[in-house]
Amino acid sequence: MMKSILMALAFLLLAAVALAQNTTVADVAAGYSGFYVVKGFTFYANGGSGSVALNASNWLGLVGDFGAYRAPSGVNNLTAETYTFGPRFSYRHLDRLAPFAQLLVGGLHSSVVTSAFTNASNSFAFAAGTGVDLGLDSGGRLAFRPQLDYFGVRAKGSTLSNVRFSVGIVFHIGKK
């Protein structure tokens, strides 16, 4: 009986070590992003975003997310850049499928060009979103990522609500 218990404990310990080795050290993502302003001035901006996540464990990572967007010429050549940081919570127990949720805070820099004058401003930004990494190769180094975020921007006493949809490629770097 004691031998069976020791074998079971050894098996559980080895399984835990093997699972820890499936966690990547870092995830680097880049892709297309659409930024839709849904409250106040309703318009859609196109651009790109990227992120770098350092994974502290199998389920917790620290992410830095950056994006740049440009609205169509009908919105006075509006450009915006976002820079946000925060925790990402991942579920990595499915084969080639890793859903995640994240909470980010940071800022948004925007500028509008009208009649050869530029009006620029910085605002507080926060995001809450979800996405999934869909494995593309058997080695687990490459994934396709669709992602959806609520993106709030706080400026001049009011909050502007936005939605960001992103699709891109993720490179998983290293193994723990």
Using the predicted structure, report yes or no on whether residue 25 has a pLDDT greater than 60: yes
Check: CATH 2.40.160.20 for 2-173? yes
Residue 60 banded pLDDT, cuts 50, 70, 90: very high
- Partners of residue 151 on adjacent β-strands: 127, 162
Query: Mean pLDDT in the chain?
Result: 84
Spatial separation of the C-alpha atoms in residues 17 and 175, rounded to whole Å = 12
Burial of 93 (0-12, 13-18, 19+ CB in 10 A): exposed
**Can you give the pLDDT at residue 1?**
56
In this predicted structure, the answer to whether residue 83 has a pLDDT above a threshold of 90 is: yes
CB 61 within 8 A of CB 93: no
Confidence tier at 99 by pLDDT (50, 70, 90): very high
| Per-residue model confidence as pLDDT tens digits over 141-156 | 999 999 999 999 888 8
At 13 the pLDDT is: 47
DSSP 139: T
Q: Does residue 94 register a pLDDT over 70? A: yes
> What is the mean pLDDT of the segment spanning 120-139?
90
Per-residue exposure over 116-142, b if at least 16 CB sit within 10 Å of its own CB, e if not = eeeeeeebebbbebebbbebeeeebee
pTM score: 0.80
Q: 3-state class of 73 per DSSP?
A: helix
Q: Where are the domains of the chain?
A: 2-173
How far, in Å, CA of 138 to CA of 96, rounded?
Answer: 8
CA 90, chain centre distance (Å)? 11
